[in-house]
Amino acid sequence: MITLVCPSCGGQVECTDEGRESVRCPYCGSEIFFGASHTDAEFNNIRNANYQMEQDNLLDEKNRRSVKTWSVVRAVLIFLLAVQNYTGWLFIAIALKEENREAVKNGDFGFFILATLLIVGAFFLGLISPVILTLTRPNYNVVTKEEDKNAKVKAFIITLLINVLVWIASVTLAIISWKVFNIR
Ligand SMILES: [Zn+2]
C-alpha cells in the first residue's frame, strides 16, 4: 500500500492497487499520480505538486483570457455609447438650424427622428450594457488569481458609473461642438 499526500488539498490518499498510474483524491477529486514503490511515491508527490502547479497556471491563463475578452467588450460598448450619444445631440442642433426649421415646418422630421433614435438608443445602451456585462463577468480576480464572488457586483457598479460619466462627457462635448462648429 502506498500513501500519497494530495497536492491539492493535503489529504492522505492510500492506494492498494499498485498497478495503476494515478488515482482520484476522495476528498477533492484531483488526479494524483503514484508509482509502484514508496520511493516512487515520494518522487510522485513532487511530480503531483508540479502537475497541480501546471494545472493552476493553465486555469489562471484561461481565466485571464476570459477577463481580458470581457474588458475589450466593455470598452467597445462604452465607446459605442459615447459616439451614439454625441452624434445624437449633435443632430439635435443640426435639426434646430435656421435652414432646417423650414423642412420641419414642411413636415420633414428626418433629422429629429434620427437624433431621437440615437439619444434614446444611447440611453438604453447605457442602462442595458451594465446588466449584460454583470451577467457575463467571469468570477475571477486577475490580481489575487482567485475566485472573486464580488466580481459581478463590482462590474455592475463600475460600468454604471463609467456610463453615467461617459453620458455627461458626450453631451458636454456635443454642446461644445455646437459652439465650435457654429451649428446653432
Ligand atoms: Zn485532495
Written as tens digits, the pLDDT of the chain (184 aa) is 677 788 788 888 887 766 667 788 889 988 877 665 556 667 777 888 888 888 899 999 999 999 999 999 999 999 999 999 999 999 888 888 777 777 777 877 788 888 999 999 999 999 999 999 999 999 999 988 889 999 999 999 999 999 999 999 999 999 999 888 776 5
C-alpha cell at 131: 446588466
66 C-alpha to ligand 1 centroid (Å): 27
Q: How far apart are CA 122 and CA 47, in angstroms?
A: 55
Neighbours of 48 (CB within 10 A): 24
Instruction: Specify the residue for cell string 467588450.
Output: 73
58 C-alpha to ligand 1 centroid (Å): 19
67 C-alpha to ligand 1 centroid (Å): 28
Q: Are residues 91 and 168 in contact, defined by beta-carbon separation less than 8 angstroms?
A: no
C-alpha cell at 130: 451594465
Q: How far apart are CA 26 and CA 14, in angstroms?
A: 10
55 C-alpha to ligand 1 centroid (Å): 14
143 C-alpha to ligand 1 centroid (Å): 25
For 52, residues 6+ apart whose C-beta sits below 8 A from its C-beta are 7, 8, 30
25 C-alpha to ligand 1 centroid (Å): 5
